[in-house]
Amino acid sequence: MTRRVALVAPAGGYVGPALSRVLAARGFDLVLADPAPGLRDDLEAAGATVVVQHRGEGPGDSDDPGSSAGDLGRRMVEAAHEQFGTYHSAFFSSGRIALGRFQRTSIDDLRAAFRDNVEAPFEFVQAVVGPLVERGDGQVLVATSATSGRPTPSASLYAGTRSAATVMLQSLGLEVAATGVQVNVVGTNFMDFPEFLRGNRIETPEDRARVEAMVPMKRLGTMVEFASFCATFLDGTSRFATGQFFPYAGGWAL
């Protein structure tokens, strides 16, 4: 094979579409989960071979985000092996924004955040990392949150569950380091995408200015630049970092 293969889940929102385009431009073929409308056509026009999987269509899928993430990961691995014979890297993101003061939240709120923010990445990464370890080569990158590195008032459940996933995956990175497989974590905040804008009630230029004032760089990050950052840990060109957490938040997480 002359082309590398990456799994991107999901590819319908957050950084998925932009990351898929960056990887295709770098010579990757792709297995995508739930791609955005028109994305597959764009990638194939750019020369990539694209295989699509959808969450919720596998026999193991259920209403549990962790279970469905694990089944999705297994089906993406199977699709990669069937179409390409192998794969080289995998990206995963999931999350439930859980805001509110600690004393006003419930155990059900915590359990819901835990399912999306801890169980889902656990299930997906467990499904995709094994074949890479067996081959002795590969890269896994998971997006959590920049709150993993900074306690955040009114986001105790979110920061807590994101931190749990971050340290869990960092530990995995050290477990498999000697095999040649890299596992790293990236955490964002203050990014310009619909879920962040809605979660922070950014509806007017004044709202945006209020939020941007909290960022040392005084702006929101874009998904295009974040995709380029992520690709560094997926495209095989940088092979000497593993078990690391990289905040991507305009300086906010320092």
For 20-38, the pLDDT digits (tens) are: 999 999 999 999 999 999 9
pLDDT at 231: 97
Question: Considering only CA atoms, which of 19, 137, 124, 122 is closest in space to residue 89?
Answer: 137
Query: Between residues 66 and 43, which one has the greater pLDDT?
Result: 43
Is 95 a residue whose pLDDT tops 80? no
pLDDT, mean of residues 194-211? 89
What CA–CA distances, in Å, run from 5 to 30, 51, 121, 134, 229? 6, 11, 20, 17, 18
Q: Are 226 and 196 in contact (CB under 8 A)?
A: no
Is 11 a residue whose pLDDT tops 80? yes
Is 254 a residue whose pLDDT tops 80? no
Assign a CATH topology to domain 4-248: Rossmann fold (3.40.50)
Is 57 a residue whose pLDDT tops 70? no
pLDDT at 66: 46
pTM of the model: 0.91
**Extents of the domains making up the chain:** 4-248
pLDDT, mean of residues 120-127? 96
Instruction: Could you list the beta-strand ranges (E) of the chain.
Output: 4-9, 28-33, 50-53, 89-93, 138-143, 181-188, 245-248
The share of the chain scoring above pLDDT 70, in percent, equals 94
pLDDT at 65: 47
Rounded CA-CA distance 132/242 in Å is 14
Which pairs from 12-16 meet CB under 8 Å and 24+ separation? 12/36, 12/39, 13/193, 13/194, 13/195, 14/93, 14/143, 14/193, 14/195, 14/223, 15/93, 15/143, 15/193, 15/223, 15/226, 15/227, 15/230, 16/91, 16/93
Res. 227 pLDDT band, cuts 50 70 90 = very high
Q: Are 89 and 235 in contact (CB under 8 A)?
A: yes
The share of the chain scoring above pLDDT 90, in percent, equals 76
Is 98 a residue whose pLDDT tops 80? no
